[in-house]
A and B are shown apart, each in its own frame.
Chain A
Amino acid sequence: MKLDAPSLAPIIILGLTSAGAYLAGTRLGGLHRRELSRATMDVLGALGLAVVFLLGNLAVGTAAVLGLRAITGQFISVYVVSDATLPILSLVQAMIFHRWRERSK
């Protein structure tokens, strides 16, 4: 599967700022290089939690729409569940939960 150039712009921008943040962090901010891989693993864990929250939100939302349709007899579109804000809100949910779990240890 080939990658096309225009779609790669965000990756190039992200690569440049990440390199800048790495240099600034290690040379000016006193951050340890060896902690970077652990931080990455932490973030992957939080992302995994976000996926779980997203799937849960989709399941609850779909069930609620179908239930309301059955109870009220009125049409409610299932497409309300697939709104673009849901993954972002699920990520926020997961970040809070992840931090809460870390602080409770």
Chain B
Amino acid sequence: MRAGRGFRLLGLVGLLVFGAGAFTPLANWLNAWMGGSARLEPADAIVVLGRGGADSDGVLTNRSLRRLMHGVELYRKALAPRLVLSGTAEETSARFTLAEGLGLPAGTIMRAGSAHTTVEEADRLGQMLLPRGQRRILLVADPIDMPRARAVMKRAGFTVFAAPTAATGPSLPEARLALLRDIATELAGWAYYRVAGIL
């Protein structure tokens, strides 16, 4: 009887979270809060972190594409002399081709070594940029990924200026639920990094 009441209460909580996530701007608010304010200052490099890789036919995921486009936009504003692409080999290759196609000079686009996680990306970027004295970076990532990514990059030795890709997020229920799921995933990632002593 008591277990039945517990399940009903849990079901009600689940339903309320679902309702708030889908039909209110809760996910949008969390998205904006996690991203914080952008600090678009002159830097040594614009670093576009990987997100989701690319399909076997070289098509970037939505988020990977958004990040690249934001990075290109920042480059065109002359905020840094180079655009550094991070992520898996397939992702950086697809992004490189696209950035070149968008008119960026090939000599200004750099590809970091292949990496699957944020920690690996920080490691590869550190090996690539820090020996050249390129410490100040404009970090391009999704708002929800920014707290963890910024902390990992700072720990690797960079001075980080956040350049989140978007401020508010989607307005339709399905997309909001997907965003809420991503927020939960990211918070779990943050907790894992804390427990593992990475942050």
Contacts and interface: CB of A to CB of B under 8 A. Distances in A.
A3 B15 contact: no
A1 B25 contact: yes
Interface size class of B (residues with CB under 8 A): 20 to 34
A47 B24 contact: no
B11 A45 contact: yes
A48 B173 contact: no
A84 B11 contact: no
| Size class of the A contact interface (CB-based, 8 Å) | 20 to 34
A52 B10 CA distance: 8
A11 interface: yes
Contacts, number: 75
B171 A7 contact: yes
Contacts of B24: 1-3, 7
B102 to A, nearest CB: 27
Top 7 closest A-B pairs, CB basis? A47-B11, A48-B7, A48-B10, A48-B11, A44-B11, A44-B8, A75-B116
Interface of B: 4, 6-15, 20, 22-26, 29, 52, 116-117, 171-173, 176, 178, 181-182, 184-185, 188-189
18 contacts: A3-B23, A7-B22, A8-B23, A10-B22, A10-B173, A44-B8, A44-B12, A45-B4, A45-B11, A46-B11, A48-B6, A48-B8, A50-B14, A62-B188, A75-B116, A78-B185, A78-B189, A82-B181
